[in-house]
Structure 1
Amino acid sequence: MLGKHSKLFFFISFCALIVAIVLASWGFPKIVKRQVQKNVQIENSSKMFEKWRKLPMPLTFKVYVFNISNPEEVSEGEKPRLQEIGPYVYKEYREKTVLGYGENDTIKYTLKKSFVFDAQASGTLSEHDELTVINLTYMGVILTVNGMMPAILGSVNKALEIFFGNNLTDPFMRVKVKDLLFDGIFLNCEADNSALSLVCGTLRAKRPTTMRLADDGKGYYFSMFGHWNNTPLGPFDMVRGTENVYELGHIVGYKDRRTMKEWGDPYCGMINGSDSSIFPPIDENNVPQKLYTYDPDICRSLSVDLMGKRSIFNMSAYYYELTETALASKSVNPSNKCFCRKNWSGSHDGCLLMGVLNLMPCQGAPALISLPHFYLASEEVREYIYYGLSPDKEKHKSFIYLDPVTGVVMKGAQRIQFNIELRNMGNLPQLAKVRTGIFPLLWFDEGAEITESIKEELRHSHTLLGYVETVRWTILVIAFAAALISGVALARSGAVPHCRRNNSINFITRPSKPTSLSKH
């Protein structure tokens, strides 16, 4: 009777062990993955959808402007002395409008940003502050014309005096912060001047995004970020993650294009990564070494590199950081060679300087981007400035902390600086004596940190996941222990027949029986 029960107990516990092994190695991970996918996929019923559609908290948009302390001396050939003024702080709200759903599990949407000045966070600074900065529009037009039709440069330079309201004695401008950033600086096109007509006609044909046509059609308004404010961007085509959660957030198209043709190269024209608002969960067995984000304002994707696991808000997260390879010269990162354009500088081809990217192919204007204070850029770039640059990794790096369970960005910052080349041109009075070099205008810090309510949601998710892991391995241990105990009980019950053992020593040493021999 005991043997019969022992056999049944062993059979049941052995089957339970097999089931526990399957659940631990495949079942529980599958269940968790499906539940995570259900919550984070871009679907009306998911918890993530409304947070993705309308960001539940504003981003913090900080702007630092480089005020020129010695403009007269710079015009005479001295090195610039800069004073960083800021931050001018804005609250940045983001909202998406869903336009429809496409094939291959995609969703089409537009993104609208809106900016509101935060006077309290800006402290003593005001949007009405007047600063002296490099005239990015003037240098942009001059460099563009010089590259295309240098013979008419002199007449265009004369026309630009009318364009800027007869206030063009040097390559700098005195401007209110609100006009520089969002409201716009008026540029006059109303005059009987053929060169001015050429400049304004070119703007009409191919207007940079930083230029807004005046309501009366008699000129333009230039601002750095006015085109971002309350203007739908897109449309984007993005993978929803309902079929493969690890493809969630991947941008596969922008303005119905699958590649960006501005760079004239298939590699540099690839659209990779997300729009930075959403990332897929991280498979702990296949942690990506790079994360890509696509930025239409620079017509390319940028990558951040995995730095390892870090603790933030008492939770574990993967930490990624923008490294020098992203904006490296072609000698350091050969893949960047297709982002080069000749003649952007008086002494370089656009690829020899570390940490600088020419936006001419993208924006139609020779603006240059870098990291703030030329962090991770060539020392040669910083040497042009006499005073006012202090690269600091903690202040000027771009990074994200990513929750591995949901792919939520727990904290992140994108920091970009806008520059323009100030080039010596002996035939133009404004540029006859200046030194040639890259001149910074401003940089912004676009940052976000999840709210306390989202932190609590994540902690709750991590806690539940911890419980699931505990149950998963507890069941396996119990099943293994039960199988072990039942096996011992079965052996002791005698229900399993013992195998006779041959004692090899006895077999060898015991006397042999006499062998009878047949006689023939």
Structure 2
Amino acid sequence: MGCFSIKCGLLAGSVFGAVIAILGGILIPVGDMIIERTVKKEAVIEPGTTAYDNWASSEIAVYRQFWLFDVKNPQQVVQEGAFPEVQEKGPYTYKTRYLPKANVTFNPNNTASFVLPMGAIFEPSMSVGPEEDTVTTLNLAVAGAYSLLPPASHILLDMVINSTNSSLFQHRTVKELLWGYNDPILKDTIGLFSPYNGTSDGPYNIFTGKDDISKVSIIDRWRGETKLSFWNDTYCDMINGTDGSSFAPFVDKDVPLYFFSSDICRSVSASYEATMNLKGIEVYRYSLLPSTLASPVDNPDNKCFCRNYETTKNCTLAGALDISSCSDGQLVDQSSSLCPTSFKASSEYELINSLSCRVLNKVKDYTLLPLAWLNETATLDDKTADMFKRELISRIDMLEIVQQVLLIAGVIIFFVCLIAFFCVRRKSKTNLG
């Protein structure tokens, strides 16, 4: 028989099927290596990569939602020393971080420097009312003056306050309270977030990931320093992780994510909570642990963050962080009991970087009076989600399909040809016999 007989053809088919199956099997690790190499290449922050385009631009909308606390019994508080009764008003939503990073400079040590311009645009469609809504709230200048000046100066301070028709509480619009108003006592602009528009955060110096992708976006320096100077402690003054807007690829769910927040002047960590589906993309949800702002009694690591022993009741008050050393006497108080249910319900579909209650003291016995609380969300838009699915997920799916088709087709061809080969061979022997 010649080599072109049926048996030779079937044998060749078996070999071909085996080669196809082996090729499909080889593509599994090789494909994973290709995907990993591609992701690492595109995750580097340098011109021409996908990471750089997303990092440098401001296409993903970031929103800050504010809930203000309206004091319902200001006269009773002032005249009778009653405990303030407050009611939430909000949300009042502003689009922030809509300006691209400025002064971007790439350095020889594989880092990039930049400043983050600050700006806020009111979003009526996402707010409970106009920013001209009024609230009765603490008079920032009066409360601050009483807190900062010694008791011997209070008589003189009372004369100044009376001459300007000021009091411990005032009526202000949402816009004035958040972004600033001209105060008759200070003769200057004062507000919870004043100044904001036209200012910038930074400069930041971050690793690009070019030499080590695991370091991408990690902060090397903030305002020119590798550590903070607010807490006078090696641990609390550490600048850990990224700025919270991005992280390195191939995240290990068992390892916490670290990031630095300039709003609260400290680094924090978040732990994996759940895997979710966001616009057809599998994402991980992370949340801060209760120990992050726990009292030093429950978390000794937070002892160096306790600076005011009176307002924190000798460092036993959980959820309070005195940031007066870096934010002009403001306090941040994180209290879940003050968070509206609407925020909790929607948060699972958003990347959240939340602060809580910005407060000032004092009303009575160092009471922490809430003025406002906020959450910041960066929601993945449809355009970016489609790009991510088209450029990455669709290619991964196509590669997996090719791998499976080659493997399955090769195995089927191999066994079909092999079985047919033995059947023909057996039939040939029967005919010869």
Pairwise same-fold verdict (TM > 0.5): yes
- Match 2:45 to one of 42, 45, 58: 42
One-letter amino acid matched to 1:77? G
Q: Deviations over 1:387-424 (max 9, x none)?
A: xx5x45652599676xxxxxxxx643524220123254
Aligned-residue offset at 1:182: 1.2
Equivalences for 1:82-481 in 2 at 5 Å?
82-92=86-96, 93-122=98-127, 124-127=129-132, 129-145=133-149, 152-155=150-153, 158-159=156-157, 162=160, 166-169=164-167, 171-186=168-183, 188=185, 219-283=187-251, 286-345=252-311, 348-349=313-314, 351-365=315-329, 367-371=330-334, 374-375=335-336, 389=338, 391-392=339-340, 395=343, 411-412=351-352, 414-424=354-364, 436-460=366-390, 461-478=392-409
With over 3 angstroms needed to count, the CA separation of the structure-2 counterparts of 1:157 and 1:28, relative to structure 1, is farther
Note if 1:24 corresponds to 2:28: yes
Identity fraction in percent: 24
Give the letter aligned to residue 471 of structure 1.
V
**1:259-316 Cα distance to aligned partner (Å, 9 max, x none):** 1121112221121222232222234xx3354223311122112222211211232332
Give CA-to-partner distance per residue, 1:212-236, whole Å, 9 cap, x none.
xxxxxxx432112233312121110
Partner SS for 1:275: coil
Q: Is the 8 A contact 1:161 1:167 kept in 2?
A: no
Tell me, what secondary structure is at the counterpart of 2:82? coil
Cα 1:440–1:397 change in 2 (3 A) is farther
Per the TM alignment, residue 56 of structure 1 is displaced from its structure 2 partner at its CA by: 0.9
Counterpart Cα distance in 1 of 2:346 and 2:268 = 11
Letter in 2 for 1:68: V
Instruction: Confirm or deny: 8 A CA contact 1:161 1:168 kept in the other structure.
Output: no
Contact 1:399–1:413 (CA under 8 A) maintained in structure 2: no
Q: Which runs of 5+ in 1 are unaligned?
A: 146-151, 190-218, 377-388, 402-409, 425-434, 495-520
SS in 1 for 2:101: strand
SS in 2 for 1:252: strand
Q: Is the 8 A contact 2:142 2:161 kept in 1?
A: no
Q: Compared with structure 1, are the counterparts of its residues 67 and 392 closer, same or farther at alpha carbon in structure 2 (3 Å cutoff)? A: closer
**Greater CA drift, 292-301 or 455-464:** 455-464
Equivalent-residue separation in structure 2 for 1:344 and 1:66 (angstroms): 24
Read off the aligned partner of 2:313 and give its amino acid letter.
H
Runs of 4 or more above 4 Å deviation = 1-22, 391-394, 396-401, 476-494
Q: 1:482 to 1:468 in 2, by over 3 A?
A: same
Partner of 1:386: none
Tell me how far 1:115 sits from its aligned partner. 1.1
Describe the shift of the 1:348–1:370 C-alpha distance in structure 2 as closer, same or farther (beyond 3 A): same
Mapped to 2, the partners of 1:185 and 1:398 lie a distance apart of 36
Structure 1 residues 268 and 13: CA distance shift in structure 2, 3 A: farther
The residue type equivalent to 2:376 in the other structure is E
Shift of 1:340: 1.1
Which residue of structure 1 lines up, in the alignment, with residue 430 of structure 2? none
Measure how far apart 1:488 and its partner are: 8.1
* Cα gap change, 1:392 to 1:305, in 2 (>3 Å): farther
CA root-mean-square deviation: 3.4
Distance 1:238 1:400 in 2: 29
1:300-350 alpha-carbon deviations (Å, 9 max, x no partner): 1222221121123233221112332221112322222221114341x612x
Measure how far apart 1:253 and its partner are. Answer: 1.3
Whole-angstrom distance in 1 between the partners of 2:169 and 2:387 = 50
Q: 1:174, CA displacement in angstroms?
A: 2.8
Q: Which runs of 5+ in 2 are unaligned?
A: 426-433
CA contact (8 A) 1:163 1:187 kept: no
1:454–1:154 Cα change, 3 Å: same
Q: Distance in 1 between matches of 2:179 and 2:229?
A: 29
- Superimposed CA distance per residue, residues 442-482 of structure 1 (whole angstroms, 9 cap, x where no aligned partner): 11232221222122223323232222222234444555667
What does the per-residue CA deviation read over 1:157-212, in whole Å, with 9 as the maximum and x for residues that have no partner?
A: 6247537963344x3233233222113332546xxxxxxxxxxxxxxxxxxxxxxx
Q: Which residue number in structure 2 is paired with residue 501 of structure 1?
A: none
Contact 1:132 1:173 in 2 (8 A): yes
What is the distance in 2 between the residues matched to 1:280 and 1:312?
A: 19
**Counterpart secondary structure, 1:463:** helix
Q: CA contact under 8 A between 1:187 and 1:221: conserved in structure 2?
A: no
Closer/same/farther in 2, CA of residues 82 and 30 from structure 1, 3 Å limit: same
Q: SS state of the match for residue 119, structure 2?
A: strand
Q: Residues of 2 paired with 1:122 and 1:19: CA distance?
A: 57
Give 2:62's aligned residue.
Answer: 59
**What's the offset of the Cα at 1:492?**
10
Contact 2:131–2:173 (Cα < 8 Å) also in 1: no
Which of the pair has the greater relative contact order for Cα pairs under 8 Å at 6+ separation? 2
Q: Answer whether contact 2:24 2:402 (CA < 8 A) is retained.
A: no
Contact 1:164 1:188 (C-alpha < 8 Å) held by counterparts:
no
Residues in 1 aligned to 2:344 and 2:151: alpha-carbon distance in whole angstroms: 37
CA contact (8 A) 1:396 1:415 kept: no
- Secondary structure in 2 matching 1:278: coil
TM-score normalised by length of structure 1: 0.70
Give the SS at the match of 1:422. coil
For 1:106 and 1:400, locate their aligned partners in 2 and report how far apart those are by CA, in whole Å. 33
Q: 1:277 & 1:30 partners in 2: Cα distance?
A: 27
> Which secondary structure does the structure 2 equivalent of 1:73 belong to?
helix
- Please give the secondary structure, in 2, of the residue aligned with 1:416: strand
Q: Is the 2:308–2:322 contact (alpha carbons within 8 Å) kept by the matching residues of 1?
A: no
- In the alignment, the residues of structure 2 paired with residue 491 and residue 157 of structure 1 have an alpha-carbon distance, to the nearest angstrom, of 109
2:118 is paired with a residue whose SS is: strand
